[in-house]
C-alpha cells in the first residue's frame, strides 16, 4: 500500500497534467477562433496556466504563490478534505465500504448504519459525541478516532509516516493542534464552518473559552444528545481534571526544584480556571438545556436548529443571521422546545 504522501503526490501530478491539457485546449480554441476571423496577428491566443479555471489547478487557486508554495497548499487542502471525510465516517455520514451518503435522515442511529453497511471496515461512533479537548483524556476523542481512521484506511505499516505527513501538511506539531489548541481555537471547526458556508452539519458544544468541546452530527441528534454530552463527557472531563489537580498537588509537595514547583503551581492554577469555566458552563447553559430535552426539525434548516441550542454551541458570528429568524431574540437558548 502506498503512503499518504505518495498518494497526494500522485493526485497532485494528475491534476497538474489535466490543467496543462486544458490549457492546451483553450490555446488551440483561441487559435481556431482567431484564424476563423483572420485575427491571428491581432489577438493573443496564449492562455496562462493561472487562468485555467479548474478547481484543483493549483496555479488558478493560488496565482500569486510560487510553485513550491502551491504544492504545499495543494497538499494541505487535500489533507483538510481527508479529515472532513474521516469525521463523516466517524459519524456514519459516509462509509469506506459504500458510496454516497449513508446516514442523512433525522435521528439516524448506528443501527440504521449497520442495516445499510454490513460488517463495516470502520465502525462509526456509537453515541454521536466526539469530545475535543486539549490532551488525551478520552479514549474515543476525535484525535484517537482520526488515528484509527488512518490505520484502517491506509494500513498500520505506514501509520507513523502518514500521521507525520498529515501534521507536516497542516503545519502543526501534533494533529491535536489542528482540532483544538490550549487557547480553545479549532482550525478543524473553522474549516468546517467555511466548507458549509456558516451552516455546519457537525455542531460543536463548547464552553465559553473552549476548554471543553464535543462534536455531534445534527442528523443523529436526539432530545437526549445534550444529556449525553453533559453526563458522559463534560462531567467525566471535570472529574478527571479534579483528580489530576489532586495528584499534581501531592507530587509538588515531595519532589522538584523551586523552578519546577513554580511551573507546577502555574499548571494547577490553569486547571483550576478550567474547572471554574466547566462549572459555569454546566450550571448556566448545559444543564438547563439538557432538562428541556430539546428536539430539532431538519426541515427548519441548519440556522434555525443551531440557534435553538444557543450558547451551548460554539458561536461563530451568527448574531447577524438571527434576524433571518423572525420574532426570535438572542440568546436562542431561551426558546421553548420545538415540540412544546
Based on the fold, state whether residues 119 and 161 are members of the same structural domain.
yes
Based on the fold, state whether residues 120 and 248 are members of the same structural domain.
no
Q: Which residues pair with 131 in a beta bridge?
A: 214
| Residue 331 included in any domain | no
| Residue 274 included in any domain | yes
Based on the fold, state whether residues 46 and 144 are members of the same structural domain.
no
84-104 per-position pLDDT tens digit:
999 999 999 999 999 999 999
Based on the fold, state whether residues 239 and 289 are members of the same structural domain.
yes
Does residue 321 register a pLDDT over 80? no
Based on the fold, state whether residues 126 and 218 are members of the same structural domain.
yes
| Residue 340 included in any domain | no
Q: Could you tell me the CA-to-CA distances from 290 to 222, 223, 252, 286, 309 in Å, in that order?
A: 11, 8, 38, 6, 10
| Residue 134 included in any domain | yes
Based on the fold, state whether residues 160 and 209 are members of the same structural domain.
yes
| Residue 268 included in any domain | yes
Q: Please state the rounded mean pLDDT for residues 118-142.
A: 96
Based on the fold, state whether residues 119 and 3 are members of the same structural domain.
no
Based on the fold, state whether residues 202 and 83 are members of the same structural domain.
yes
Based on the fold, state whether residues 89 and 43 are members of the same structural domain.
no
Q: Could you tell me the CA-to-CA distances from 101 to 94, 105, 192 in Å, in that order?
A: 5, 10, 17
Largest Cα span, the chain = 91
Last residue of a domain, one of 181, 196, 222: 222
Based on the fold, state whether residues 204 and 254 are members of the same structural domain.
no
| Residue 308 included in any domain | no
Which pLDDT does position 248 carry in this prediction? 86
Residue 143 in contact with residue 186, Cβ under 8 Å? no
| Residue 298 included in any domain | no
Last residue of a domain, one of 293, 315, 335: 293
Q: Which residues pair with 213 in a beta bridge?
A: 206
Which pLDDT does position 332 carry in this prediction? 45
215-272 per-position pLDDT tens digit:
999 999 999 999 999 999 999 999 999 999 998 888 776 666 777 777 888 889 999 9
| Residue 103 included in any domain | yes
Last residue of a domain, one of 46, 62, 78: 62
> 10 is in which domain, residue-wise?
1-62
Based on the fold, state whether residues 105 and 169 are members of the same structural domain.
yes
Which pLDDT does position 338 carry in this prediction? 42
Does residue 322 register a pLDDT over 80? no
Based on the fold, state whether residues 80 and 178 are members of the same structural domain.
yes
Q: Which residues pair with 206 in a beta bridge?
A: 213
Residue 154 in contact with residue 163, Cβ under 8 Å? no
Which pLDDT does position 328 carry in this prediction? 53
How many domains is the chain partitioned into structurally?
3
Amino acid at each position: 500500500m502506498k503512503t499518504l504522501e505518495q498518494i497526494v503526490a500522485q493526485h497532485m501530478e494528475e491534476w497538474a497534467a489535466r490543467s496543462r491539457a486544458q490549457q492546451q485546449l483553450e490555446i488551440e480554441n483561441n487559435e481556431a477562433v482567431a484564424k476563423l476571423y483572420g485575427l491571428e496577428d491581432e489577438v493573443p491566443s496564449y492562455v496562462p496556466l493561472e487562468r485555467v479555471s479548474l478547481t484543483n489547478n493549483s496555479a488558478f487557486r493560488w496565482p500569486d504563490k510560487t510553485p513550491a508554495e502551491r504544492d504545499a497548499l495543494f497538499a494541505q487542502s487535500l489533507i483538510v478534505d481527508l479529515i472532513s471525510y474521516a469525521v463523516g465516517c466517524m459519524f456514519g455520514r459516509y462509509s469506506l465500504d459504500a458510496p454516497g451518503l449513508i446516514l442523512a435522515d433525522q435521528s439516524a442511529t448506528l443501527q440504521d448504519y449497520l442495516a445499510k453497511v454490513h460488517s463495516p471496515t470502520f465502525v462509526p461512533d456509537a453515541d454521536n459525541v466526539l469530545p475535543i479537548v486539549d490532551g488525551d483524556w478520552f479514549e474515543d476523542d476525535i484525535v484517537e478516532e482520526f488515528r484509527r481512521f488512518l490505520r484502517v484506511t491506509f494500513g498500520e505499516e505506514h501509520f507513523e509516516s502518514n500521521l507525520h505527513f498529515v501534521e507536516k501538511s497542516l503545519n502543526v506539531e501534533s494533529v491535536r493542534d489542528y482540532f483544538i489548541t490550549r487557547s480553545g481555537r479549532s482550525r478543524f471547526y473553522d474549516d468546517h464552518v467555511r466548507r458549509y458556508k456558516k451552516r455546519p452539519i457537525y455542531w460543536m458544544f463548547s464552553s465559553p473559552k473552549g476548554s471543553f468541546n464535543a462534536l455531534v452530527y445534527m442528523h443523529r441528534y436526539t432530545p437526549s444528545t445534550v444529556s449525553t454530552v453533559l453526563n458522559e463527557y463534560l462531567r467525566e472531563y471535570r472529574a478527571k481534571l479534579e483528580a489530576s489537580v489532586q495528584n499534581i498537588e501531592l507530587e509538588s509537595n515531595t519532589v522538584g526544584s523551586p523552578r519546577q514547583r513554580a511551573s507546577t503551581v502555574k499548571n494547577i492554577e490553569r486547571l483550576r480556571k478550567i474547572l471554574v469555566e466547566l462549572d459555569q458552563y454546566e450550571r448556566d447553559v448545559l444543564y438547563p438545556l439538557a432538562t428541556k430535552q430539546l428536539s430539532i426539525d431538519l426541515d427548519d434548516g441548519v440556522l434555525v436548529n443551531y440557534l435553538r441550542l444557543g450558547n451551548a454551541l460554539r458561536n461563530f458570528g451568527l448574531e447577524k443571521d438571527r434576524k433571518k429568524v423572525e420574532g426570535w431574540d438572542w440568546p436562542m437558548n431561551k426558546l421553548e422546545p420545538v415540540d412544546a
